A and B are shown apart, each in its own frame.
Chain A
């Protein structure tokens, strides 16, 4: 192989990469927070909500889980303007990520809710809590704690999946890589470096989410106090 690797472009283009990283992280944080919130609402609707609402939530979850994220993104960005619903590329990217994570986290959180022993609901009711208060204080937090590792993995998957938003010209890390390689013609090196950055971000995000889990959930055994 007579190819000489050249990473000299990094000197000139690192601010472009940095800006891309910023957008990727911004998309992940917004998508993660809103997506998990949507997931909690849907999990509530599917497990405990009114009967008429359940088929709609099920249809939403199945529709999203069985189609590629890229097509969801294209549908939102290119398809919805036909209905007069026009979004910028970053808004469209964010909306697609929220809708996507909402469906996946709904299933994960629902599994956590359904693992809650029946007695917990009855205990909440006997303390005079309303159904919503029981859900909020007694059911949801232990359910989230139970499924936190699975939810964290899903958030990491959504972060990695966000690389396709470059296809609607949202200026994330992959967009930055595409831009740099079109200027420098150092395609392999550019994608190699951005792949390593994604790997570092994934490892970092996993650690951060573990830390978040540690700080928001009561330690095991603390309930006995």
Chain B
């Protein structure tokens, strides 16, 4: 039986970390785009759009991400395609991320004083113009810290994709454990790598929030 050094274990885990990072980026970027669309529906004037967005957000926030992954995996399979794990993982994570980001951003838009809507409307601006020139630029500023904070949840969420067979950091942890029989070391290292990915994001979210509050106090 071959022996594994600590470096062998770490190297294999770090190689798999690439896929955790790629999947996190894809989910975050894709989720932002879908989330922005949902946000426009959620706060728009179209009643059907609002109802749809509310239902969507309730559904994705009220069910486990793991179930969403299973449904994406087996649901796509119903169309007779052989579903690769990365496709189901990416799809489910994008849809899940979108629901949370839309709800976070709605809070930011609603935090903008009502007078801003009235003022821009009295200038004869339409909905799109109000959004583009008055509301979104202000909402964007308050949205940054919670959005960065949520990116931590996305990175942690990718760990669940190991369950439907996508090979990223968590799956690599299981594979390496099965080869080395050293679960304590391996899962300890896996946790440490996740921590190194997430902690800078958490910290910068906190710092951004503090900076933003300072800006508020000076106004």
Residues of A bordering B, CB below 8 Å: 1-3, 62-63, 65-72, 74-75, 78-83, 156, 160-161, 163-164, 167, 174, 177, 187-188, 191-192, 194-195, 198-199, 202-203
Contact = CB atoms under 8 A, between A and B. Distances in A.
Contacts of A70: 159-160, 162-163, 170
A188 B74 contact: yes
A216 to B, nearest CB: 24
A195 B195 CA distance: 30
A164 B66 contact: yes
A79 B78 contact: no
B115 interface: no
19 contacts: A3-B78, A66-B199, A67-B191, A67-B194, A67-B195, A67-B198, A68-B156, A68-B194, A74-B187, A75-B187, A78-B177, A80-B184, A82-B184, A83-B184, A161-B64, A163-B66, A177-B70, A187-B70, A195-B68
Interface string B156-198: 1101101100000010011001000011101110110011001
**A interface, over-half SS:** helix
B45 interface: no
A2 B78 CA distance: 9
A66 B152 contact: yes
Contact of A195 (B63, B152, B183, B184): B63
B51 interface: no
A71 B163 CA distance: 12
B67 A174 contact: yes
Nearest to A162: B64
B191 A75 contact: yes
Contact of B195 (A1, A63, A160, A203): A63
A164 B63 contact: no
A78 B177 CA distance: 9
Given A62-B199, A74-B183, A195 B67 contact: yes
A102 B84 CA distance: 37
A188 B74 CA distance: 5
A202 B60 CA distance: 11
Contact of A78 (B58, B160, B183, B195): B183
Nearest to A194: B67
Contacts, number: 120
Contacts of A191: 67, 70-71, 74
B79 interface: yes
Contact of B71 (A74, A174, A188): A188
A79 B67 contact: no
A78 B70 CA distance: 24
Given A3-B78, A198-B64, 16 more contacts: A62-B199, A65-B152, A67-B191, A68-B156, A68-B194, A69-B156, A69-B159, A70-B170, A74-B173, A75-B188, A78-B184, A174-B67, A187-B70, A187-B77, A192-B71, A199-B58
B1 to A, nearest CB: 18
A174 B66 CA distance: 9
A67 B163 CA distance: 17
B77 A188 contact: yes
B10 to A, nearest CB: 16
Contacts of B184: 75, 78-80, 82-83
A195 B95 CA distance: 15
Contacts of B170: 68, 70-71, 74
B160 A65 contact: no
B120 interface: no
B124 interface: no
Interface string B190-217: 1100110011001000000000000000
B212 to A, nearest CB: 16
